[in-house]
């Protein structure tokens, strides 16, 4: 069941809203932490439990309590009325839903594999809600100049890989800023100008296709990131990267999905994306047959067809499969 289906079932059932709390998976779906769940668990008040059990069947036992199910609605509840706790719930559409911290605590106690997976989703969701979490922790630890670093252009067949490093003012906020891949081009350009205006410093690193072919894209990405950091006008005292470990003389932390979890990394992703896209627009004017203005050098159907028809250009990455395949066939 998805979010809409859960809410529709609960409204159709028309239970007294002050007498139940939606628990666990269904609450996670409604709060948009996960997309689907198999059933709706509720914590019922003692009065509601007595009313519902007459139309339900016992399907299981859990922690020593009987689990009842309303088959027509796929709703499960137990005679453990301690789950009916409005103090650890939030209100959505006039109904109570177990809050995320309460769900996490409950699942830590259960410690099943599915609970561990849900805990990871809760942690990530909470991280994304506060995209200054890591910066705030570092400020509290005494760091003052925190650089976010990200790259763009690992997948294209042509052109450079570009990285950016951005140092934002302390506790800086920019509503709507997130991973550049999730933003429209208009939004990226808008944020790009604001970030460049407001940043304490930003630096860009560009590693061309020849070096990519020589050292591989992974090593080239690290070179681009290190170049971007060195091009900052002020040396940072801490670096946050999007999952990449770097050999640098600065304290750093690689964050999985960092471009979503850290505002500094999000800012860097926008700067890098806009910079590289502009390079591809220039390349498109020089080589219009490849449609770089739209595909940005990625291995799209039109790009592959253009390679077959017109050959490769000096900016192509000859170590990448579709390009190397063309060379070998010549």
* Residue 60, pLDDT above cutoff 90: no
CB of 34 closer than 8 Å to CB of 121: yes
Cβ atoms of 163 and 224 closer than 8 Å: yes
* % of the chain with per-residue pLDDT over 90: 81
Compute the mean pLDDT over every residue in the chain, rounded to the nearest whole number: 94
Closest Cα to residue 22, out of 127, 108, 93, 105?
A: 93
With a cut of 80, say whether residue 330 has pLDDT above it.
no
pLDDT at 175: 83
The pLDDT of 47-55, averaged and rounded, is 91
The model carries a pTM of 0.71
What is the pLDDT averaged over residues 238-252?
Answer: 97
| Sheet of 146-152, strand order | 201-207, 161-167, 146-152, 238-241, 251-254
Which of 3.40.630.30, 3.90.870.10, 3.30.460.40, 2.60.40.2230 would CATH assign to domain 3-129? Answer: 3.30.460.40
Q: Is pLDDT above 90 for 73?
A: no
pLDDT tens digits, 88-108: 999 999 999 999 999 999 999
pLDDT of 272? 98
Does residue 252 have a pLDDT over 80?
yes
Which of 77-81, 142-146, 226-230, 282-286 is predicted least confidently? Answer: 77-81
Predicted confidence (pLDDT) at residue 128 exceeds the cutoff of 80: no
* 159 has a pLDDT exceeding 90: yes
Q: Is the pLDDT of residue 203 over 70?
A: yes
CA 11 from chain centre, in angstroms, equals 32
Q: Where are the domains of the chain?
A: 3-129, 136-276
Domain 136-276: homologous superfamily in CATH: Ribonuclease H-like superfamily/Ribonuclease H (3.30.420.10)
Where do the DSSP E strands lie in the chain?
A: 20-22, 40-44, 57-62, 65-70, 75-78, 89-92, 95-98, 146-152, 161-167, 201-207, 238-241, 251-254
Position 16 pLDDT exceeds 70 = yes
The model's confidence at residue 250, banded by pLDDT at 50, 70 and 90, is: very high
DSSP state letter for 179: -
Say if strands 238-241 and 146-152 run parallel, antiparallel, or are unpaired: parallel
Give the residue-averaged pLDDT of 119-138. Answer: 87
Do the strands 251-254 and 95-98 form a parallel or antiparallel pair, or are they unpaired? unpaired
Instruction: Give residue 170's pLDDT.
Output: 94
- Distance, in Å, from the CA atom of 208 to the CA atom of 158, rounded to the nearest integer, reads 9
pLDDT in tens, 29-46: 999 899 999 999 999 999
E strand intervals along 118-272: 146-152, 161-167, 201-207, 238-241, 251-254
| Average pLDDT value for residue range 226-247 | 97
């Amino acid at each position: 069941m998805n979010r809409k289906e859960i809410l529709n079932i609960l409204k159709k059932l028309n239970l007294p809203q002050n007498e139940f709390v939606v628990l666990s998976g269904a609450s996670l779906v409604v709060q948009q932490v996960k997309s689907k769940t198999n059933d709706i668990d509720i914590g019922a008040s003692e009065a509601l439990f007595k009313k519902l059990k007459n139309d339900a069947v016992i399907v299981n036992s859990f922690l020593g309590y009987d689990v009842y199910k309303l088959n027509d609605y796929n709703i499960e509840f137990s005679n453990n009325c301690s789950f009916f706790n409005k103090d650890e719930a939030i209100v959505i559409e006039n109904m109570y839903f177990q809050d995320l911290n309460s769900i996490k605590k409950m699942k830590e106690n259960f410690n099943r594999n599915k609970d561990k997976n849900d805990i990871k989703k809760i942690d990530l969701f909470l991280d994304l809600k506060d995209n200054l979490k890591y910066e705030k922790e570092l400020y509290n630890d005494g760091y003052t100049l925190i650089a976010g670093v990200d790259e763009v252009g690992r997948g294209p067949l042509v052109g450079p890989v570009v990285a950016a490093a951005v140092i934002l003012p302390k506790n800086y906020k920019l509503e709507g800023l997130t991973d550049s891949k999730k933003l429209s081009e208009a939004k990226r350009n808008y944020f790009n100008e604001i970030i460049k205006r407001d940043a304490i410093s930003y630096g860009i690193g560009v590693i061309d296709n020849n070096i990519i072919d020589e050292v591989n894209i992974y090593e080239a990405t690290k070179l681009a990131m290190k170049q971007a950091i060195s091009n900052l006008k002020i040396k940072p005292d801490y670096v946050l990267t999007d999952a990449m470990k770097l050999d640098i003389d600065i304290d750093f932390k690689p964050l999985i999905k960092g471009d979503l979890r850290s505002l500094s990394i999000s800012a860097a992703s926008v700067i890098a994306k806009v910079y590289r896209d502009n390079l591809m627009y220039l390349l498109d004017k020089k080589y219009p047959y490849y449609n770089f203005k739209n595909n940005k050098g990625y291995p799209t159907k039109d790009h592959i067809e253009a390679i077959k028809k017109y050959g490769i250009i000096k900016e192509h990455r000859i170590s990448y499969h579709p390009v190397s395949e063309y060379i070998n066939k010549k």
